[in-house]
Amino acid sequence: MDFFEAGGETVGSTLSWVLLYMALHPEVQEKCRQEIFNCLGVREPTMNDRGTVPYTEATIMEIQRCSSVAPSGLEHKALEDTELDGYTIKKDTLLFYNINSFFLDRDYWGDPEKFRPERFLNDDGSKTLKYERFIPFGFGKRVCMGESLAKAELFIFTIMILQNLRIKISANHAKPDPGQYEAGITRSPLPFHVTLEAI
């Protein structure tokens, strides 16, 4: 049960970020939608469609990077005395890492404060790139065991949302600020208002 509860919260929070970032970046939303309609039409997506919509996949990855839904990875334990960058880490020491710091590293990403899905695409935009510091599900032996399921859900749900709905900033409410969020074990956007239009 914990597996489904943890996965439901993180996927649900990420989908909230999808709505927020798509509303804030209508040009990205439209580019994803055009790619989806060109490759899939109106049929429901399947996991076999991965790789056919690289811009959409890169957009999901950029949303994960910018939102950092699970900013702290699971703890690891030193199996033996170790030295790292001049520090001695004793055997059995619990170690925590800050995933968010990986996502905001200017030396690695160049412009981490910008929402730019293209950073995850090769030069001609035909496929997504793998980055060592893109670790939304953690790394090592303690990687999130729901990673495959979460990736599948995010892929399917995001495509279905974009096939059926246009997401806009609500004219009657303040523009949401992605820099403001509810922090806890997971990170969720503060409540925000968008307008959903059927396509």
CA distances to 10, 75, 93, 114, 132 from 144, in Å: 11, 12, 21, 27, 16
Report pLDDT for 1.
Answer: 43
Helices (H), the chain: 2-24, 26-39, 54-67, 99-103, 106-109, 147-164
- Please state whether 154 falls in left (phi above 0), alpha (psi between -120 and 50) or beta: alpha
Whether residue 30 lies inside any domain: the answer is: yes
Whether 186 is covered by a domain: the verdict is yes
Q: How far apart are alpha carbons 70 and 186 in whole angstroms?
A: 5
- Range of 192's domain? 2-71+99-198
Question: Does some domain include residue 107?
Answer: yes
Each of the 199 residues of the chain gets a pLDDT tens digit; together they read: 444 445 568 899 999 999 999 999 999 999 999 999 999 999 999 999 999 999 999 999 999 999 999 988 778 888 999 998 999 999 999 988 888 888 999 999 999 999 999 999 999 999 999 998 899 998 877 788 889 999 999 999 999 999 999 999 999 999 999 999 998 888 999 999 999 999 9
Asked, for residue 83, whether it belongs to a domain, the answer is: no
Give me the pLDDT at residue 7, please.
Answer: 55
Q: From its phi and psi, is residue 76 left (phi > 0), alpha (psi between -120 and 50) or beta?
A: beta
Residue 191 placed within a domain: yes
User: Does a structural domain hold residue 77?
Assistant: no
In a domain, 43, yes or no: yes
Binding residues for heme: 144
Map tokens 């804030």 to a residue.
Answer: 24
Annotated binding site: 144
Report yes or no on 76 lying in a domain.
no
What secondary structure letter does DSSP report for 124? T
Q: Give the CATH number of the domain where residue 19 resides.
A: 1.10.630.10
Instruction: Count the domains in the chain.
Output: 1
Other beta carbons within 10 Å of 142: 12
